[in-house]
Amino acid sequence: DAKTTQPPSMDCAEGRAANLPCNHSTISGNEYVYWYRQIHSQGPQYIIHGLKNNETNEMASLIITEDRKSSTLILPHATLRDTAVYYCIAEMDSSYKLIFGSGTRLLVRP
Amino acid sequence: SQTIHQWPATLVQPVGSPLSLECTVEGTSNPNLYWYRQAAGRGLQLLFYSVGIGQISSEVPQNLSASRPQDRQFILSSKKLLLSDSGFYLCAWTSDRNYYGYTFGSGTRLTVV
């Protein structure tokens, strides 16, 4: 599975959009990009995933660049409850394993 | 609906004692099952995964073992706990990750004293 690179920490103001970047320059054509988050002392929570196209669900939007070498998770209106560690993971379609990196610690400020 | 049960929520065990953590999944069949560990202040480390009954793959050689005696049951064990086994243990499952991703349990916080 391709290595992903994320900034160690970010912050944003409550009510504003949070844009979390992820670099996956060595991603292959059959690797999906997954985003999870972990709120303190809880298990990780699935947010969204995509292969080539941009995706949106009730939690967030995922923007994947045309060359697929990077992506951005967008939380459109961040709340204090969105404070968490966000993980970007590239996983091959044929893989059975989800390998976590160090993630981005997002702090949403009041 | 699909749910994952993991227990106990917290556990304090002395060094050298055995360990058994259980995870069960409801509402699906033939799931892939996973055990992760998170040491204090550290990231999530994949320990074991299973794609079927009796099929266990180990990611990190260590003091732990895993078993899958039934389709939706995954057990993490140790014969003798070490201080370094302390951490937050998470069970996870997936059946069609391209639609639903992976679902994690609420975890067991193990303290070895």
Task: Say whether A43 and B106 touch across the interface (CB within 8 A).
Answer: yes
- Tell me how close the Cα of B38 comes to any Cα of chain A, in angstroms: 10
In order of A56, B19, B75, the CA distances from B13 in angstroms are 44, 8, 17
Which residue is listed with tokens 């060595």? Answer: A26
3-state secondary structure of B97: helix
Residues of chain A with pLDDT under 70: 1, 93-94
Residue A101: how many other CB atoms lie within 10 Å:
16
Segment A3-29, tens digit of pLDDT: 899 999 999 999 999 999 999 988 888
Q: Cα(B17)–Cα(B8) distance, rounded to whole angstroms?
A: 16
Quickly state the pLDDT bin for B10 (edges 50, 70, 90): very high
Beta bridge partners of B7: B22
pLDDT mean over B23-32? 90
Choose among B94, B2, B107: nearest CA to B44: B107
Name the residue among B49, B105, B107 with its Cβ closest to that of A96. B49
pLDDT at B29: 84
B9: left (phi over 0), alpha (psi -120 to 50) or beta: alpha
State which H helix or E strand residue B99 sits in.
helix B97-100
Segment B28-80, tens digit of pLDDT: 888 999 999 999 888 899 999 999 998 999 988 688 999 999 999 999 999 99
Q: Are strands B87-94 and B108-112 parallel, antiparallel or unpaired?
A: antiparallel
Percent of chain B with pLDDT over 90: 70
Task: Say whether B90 and A44 touch across the interface (CB within 8 A).
Answer: yes
pLDDT at B45: 92
Tokens of residue B77, six digits: 């064990």
